């Protein structure tokens, strides 16, 4: 359908990955459903995020578990988990500055999740970013 802003693409990627977690449906079917609903789900940046998260899901979830003190990735609510996954993928790829990836994730958590979620997302991503850069915590 054409390209959309990176912010919209991130949000669409989170939605598709969340739907995948909750429904178990394959991503191509979820993309088709979203396209029928008028969403820009086939945007190249959206699909690169979705494909990247799926390809690296194990290491991404390991990073979440390591950074989320007292939590495992599987125990985190599906929406928050997928917000974290998309941001960690962006941090790992390095195409956007780390603060941008974290800010976008926190903004999604503010919009879509409970009151505790933005702080939780910010804390986890801050630890992941420090670990990725080799800085001391």
Q: Based on C-alpha coordinates, what's the Rg of the chain?
A: 14
- Confidence at residue 136, expressed as pLDDT on a 0 to 100 scale: 47
The pLDDT tens digits for 16-44 are 999 999 999 999 999 999 999 999 889 99
Rounded to whole angstroms, the Cα distance separating 109 from 101 reads 13
- pTM value is 0.93
Rounded to whole angstroms, the Cα distance separating 66 from 60 reads 10
Rounded to whole angstroms, the Cα distance separating 121 from 21 reads 18
- Confidence at residue 2, expressed as pLDDT on a 0 to 100 scale: 53
- What the block records as the tokens of 111 is 């919009």
Tokens 């912010």 belong to 7
Structural domains of the chain, with CATH: 6-133 (1.10.940.10)
The pLDDT tens digits for 42-80 are 999 999 999 999 999 999 999 999 999 899 999 999 999
Is the distance from CB of 60 to CB of 28 less than 8 angstroms?
no
Tokens 């990073």 belong to 63
Rounded to whole angstroms, the Cα distance separating 11 from 45 reads 11
Is the distance from CB of 123 to CB of 66 less than 8 angstroms?
no
Hey, CA dihedral for 34, 47, 55, 109, is it positive or negative?
negative
């Amino acid at each position: 359908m054409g390209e959309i802003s990176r912010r919209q693409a991130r949000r669409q990627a989170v939605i598709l990955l969340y739907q995948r977690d909750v429904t178990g449906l394959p991503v191509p079917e979820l993309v088709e459903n979203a396209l029928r609903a008028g969403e820009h789900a086939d945007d190249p940046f959206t699909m690169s995020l979705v494909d990247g998260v799926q390809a690296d899901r194990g290491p991404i979830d390991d990073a979440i578990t390591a950074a989320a003190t007292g939590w495992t990735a599987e125990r985190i609510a599906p929406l928050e988990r997928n917000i974290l996954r998309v941001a960690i993928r962006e941090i790992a790829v390095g195409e956007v500055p780390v603060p941008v990836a974290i800010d976008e994730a926190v903004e999604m958590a503010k919009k879509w999740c409970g009151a505790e979620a933005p702080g939780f997302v910010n804390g986890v991503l801050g630890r992941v970013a420090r670990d990725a850069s080799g800085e001391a915590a």
